[in-house]
Amino acid sequence: MKYLSEFRSPEIVEALLKEIRETVKGNWNIMEVCGGQTHSLVKNGILNMLPSNIQMVHGPGCPVCVTPVNLIDKAVHLAVAHKVILCSYGDMIRVPGSGMSLLEAKSKGADVRILYSPLEAVNIAKENPEREVVFFAVGFETTAPANALSVIQAYQSGVKNYSILTSHVLVPPAIEAIMSDKECEVDAFLGAGHVCAIMGTSEYYPIVEKYKIPIVITGFEPVDLLEGILAAVKQLEKGEYKLENQYTRIVEAAGNTSAIKAIDQVFEVTNREWRGIGEIAASGYGVKDAFNAYDAIKKFKFDMAESHEDPTCMSGDIMKGKIKPNQCPNFGIKCTPVQPLGAPMVSSEGACAAYYYFNMAVEEVI
């Protein structure tokens, strides 16, 4: 299949690995920002194939994983106490909150529905005018356009029983937060290709210059990742730092202008709490005042207990790249996909889930 099979070619992979081995001389820590990239690295055994002096550090680029526990508690509260039709992407319903997950709420009779698009939730609101419908709008910049369009569509259609519970986070502020940490040992970043497909590349140039660090915007297939790693290593070995775009078949410098227009119409940049990490300034989207009627936080009252994290969960250190999932004492013992302590063991983009399901692929680097 064009644009897919050639990016999984064993021959090209081996050639890239050979060039990486011949190029690398120093010891380098490269962080892949996106959880989808983490899963591809682990699933395809790339971590085992890289030279030992290249360490891949797994970043916080899993939107389900960084959704704060208080928002999960609010989603459960909406479904249980307010009896709304709570719609969500599939990964979110198993993420533990302070008391229960959305899946547990559903098992107790709450109307929780798994959808593939927020536009489906707007249709559900039209079909159930007597019920309030809330879509749990989670994601990085990638999913923001669809969530914005759902609000625009509801507004234009006169649908008043629809709203979104927003937990949108942004990649560039997360990279800055990581680089500002005194314990940070990251030497280069693989940028999230799908985020840049929406937002373009301009936000990353100031980060490269400020921290003097290479950023290579990279795709998700084995060849994509190895090309990104090779580009980063070449820069590091030469003492260079610049922004490169490996994912040219998808990412354009200007991004998707129609998607950005939809985002700007509905959302504004705000401070955002990241689960396990804390609040990062100007790192998320909130609904603009013009669309208050579609903002679940402002539409409903939340009379609920204070949220709390499981104190034994180390997902924050994992998402900041300080430890690997299998260095957590709870990994695979007290924390499994069936009974997770934290979101990275649940999400299809979570680093802990990747290590759990594809543990044979990382056995030699533990």
Q: Say whether pLDDT at 49 is over 90.
A: yes
Residue 3's pLDDT is 67
pLDDT band of 276, cuts 50, 70, 90: confident
Lowest mean pLDDT among 43-47, 75-79, 288-292: 43-47
Per-residue DSSP letter, 8: G
Q: Using an 8 Å Cβ cutoff, are 66 and 76 in contact?
A: no
Tokens of 246: 């490996």
What is Dmax (Cα atoms) for the chain?
Answer: 66
% of the chain surpassing 90 pLDDT: 82
Is 169 within 8 Å of 319 (Cβ atoms)? Answer: no
Q: What is the DSSP string of 106-148?
A: HHTT--EEE-S-HHHHHHHHHH-TTS-EEEEEEESTTTHHHHH
Distance CA 49, CA 52 (A): 9
CATH class of 69-169+255-300: alpha beta
> CA separation (Å) from 158 to 153, 294, 356?
8, 11, 46
Lowest mean pLDDT of 56-70, 151-165, 286-300, name the range.
56-70
Tell whether the model's pLDDT for residue 107 goes beyond 60: yes
Smallest CA-to-CA distance from 112 within 72, 75, 68 is with: 75
Of 35, 49, 30, the closest CA to residue 223 belongs to: 49
Specify the pTM.
0.92
